[in-house]
């Protein structure tokens, strides 16, 4: 159980950053996100990235939601039929899976190989670590903002062929795991 604590803390942080109070309207959902209502008796509203819809465990939850509630909610979001703690655990698993997909060791035999549909970036304040990022991230406004900062600070040339991103590794992971 102690091993999962960092994942759960990360998921709660992500959900806290993107959750909305029930007094806010459905128009307060940022681009690239959707509102979901979670809980058994009292439903709490969360705003999550649409990329979570690609995960099979979340798709299973959506199938249950469709069977139990349909996809019509008076407040404009989806109703998810599970306890809030189970939902947070699921989100923590998705966030952790996203982190594992991104992270690649810098000094590994495959460090010169960039798979199709990805590009290499170097992240960190002092020691730069290499990550392979899906090209689909280029369409996210937050990532575009980060690239603009990278261009201003470093240009787009890196001696080993990747981009240098001007932020801490933790900030980069927080940003990219929310897509």
Interval 60-109: pLDDT, tens = 888 887 887 776 666 667 788 788 888 888 888 887 776 666 555 433 43
Please name the residue that has the structure tokens 């992500």. 14
Predicted confidence band at 53 (pLDDT cuts at 50, 70, 90)?
confident
- C-alpha distance across the termini of the chain, in Å: 26
Query: Who's near 24: CB < 8 A, 6+ residues apart?
Result: 45
Q: CA of 11: how far to CAs of 32, 35, 43, 125, in Å?
A: 18, 16, 18, 24
Token pair 């128009």: residue: 27
Give 140-151 pLDDT, tens digit per residue: 888 888 888 888
Average pLDDT of the residues in 138-165? 78
Residues 6+ apart with CB under 8 A from 139: none
pLDDT band at 158 (very low <50, low <70, confident <90, very high): low
pLDDT of residue 6: 47
How far apart CA 46 and CA 98 sit, in angstroms, is 19
- Is the pLDDT assigned to residue 114 strictly greater than 80? no
Q: What percent of the chain has pLDDT over 70?
A: 68
């Amino acid at each position: 159980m102690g091993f999962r604590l960092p994942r759960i803390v990360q998921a709660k942080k992500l959900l806290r950053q993107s959750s909305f109070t029930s007094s806010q309207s459905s128009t307060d959902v940022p681009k690239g996100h959707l509102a979901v209502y979670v809980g058994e008796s009292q439903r709490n509203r969360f705003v999550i990235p649409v990329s979570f819809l690609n995960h099979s465990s979340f798709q299973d939850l959506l199938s249950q939601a469709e069977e139990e509630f349909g996809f019509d909610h008076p407040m404009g979001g989806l109703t998810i039929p599970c306890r809030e703690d189970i939902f947070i655990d699921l989100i923590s698993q998705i966030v952790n899976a996203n982190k594992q997909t991104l992270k690649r060791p810098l000094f590994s035999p495959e460090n010169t190989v960039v798979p199709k549909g990805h590009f290499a970036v170097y992240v960190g304040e002092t020691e730069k670590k290499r990550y392979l990022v899906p090209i689909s991230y280029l369409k996210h406004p937050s990532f575009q903002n980060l690239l603009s900062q990278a261009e201003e600070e470093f240009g787009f040339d890196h001696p080993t062929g990747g981009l240098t991103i001007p932020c801490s590794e933790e900030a980069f992971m927080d940003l990219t795991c929310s897509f």
